[in-house]
Amino acid sequence: MNLVHKWSSWAPYLRSVLRMVAAFMFILTGSMKLFAIPVGVPPSGGMVPWGSQMGIGGFLELIGGSLLLLGLFTRPTAFILSGEMAVAYFQFHFPKSFWPNVSGGIPAAIFSFLWLYLSAAGAGPWSLDALRNRVGLNRRPPA
């Protein structure tokens, strides 16, 4: 077995690692908005009102990010979060500038496309979705 083939065989596992690392980062955006953990929302360092649009976004990021971290209900959760990040980009960043690096929209754009990818590709083998498939709790083929 050559090195390229051996490395390529790790792709599903690296998808799981990518999902977990990105989900952890996403959880931090929600915890910042809702609880000012580890820091508050700039510039004042406080929290957003829970019933506001940013508060609802924070709940989606915290709960959805936690589901993605575990790899549970990955496809529908990732699809919803992809839409949330697309809305965030076009509502808050795009009006400031066409260029994402000028508008501060790079994280929203990256998360939107990453979650869209996971909504199609699935969670990978290191996930509760894969475990559910192995024990026969899902009717779908494994992710």
Residues 6+ apart with CB under 8 A from 129: 71, 72, 73, 74, 75, 122, 123, 138, 143
pLDDT given at position 77: 98
Nearest C-alpha neighbor of 68 from the set 33, 26, 28, 110: 26
Q: Where are the domains of the chain?
A: 3-134
Give CA 116 to chain center in angstroms. 9
What whole-number distance in Å separates Cα of residue 125 and Cα of residue 11? 10
pLDDT given at position 137: 75
Give 126-137 pLDDT, tens digit per residue: 999 999 999 987
pLDDT given at position 140: 59
Q: Residues for the chain: how many in total?
A: 143
pLDDT given at position 28: 97
What whole-number distance in Å separates Cα of residue 59 and Cα of residue 50? 8
Which residues of the chain have a pLDDT value below 70? 1, 138-143
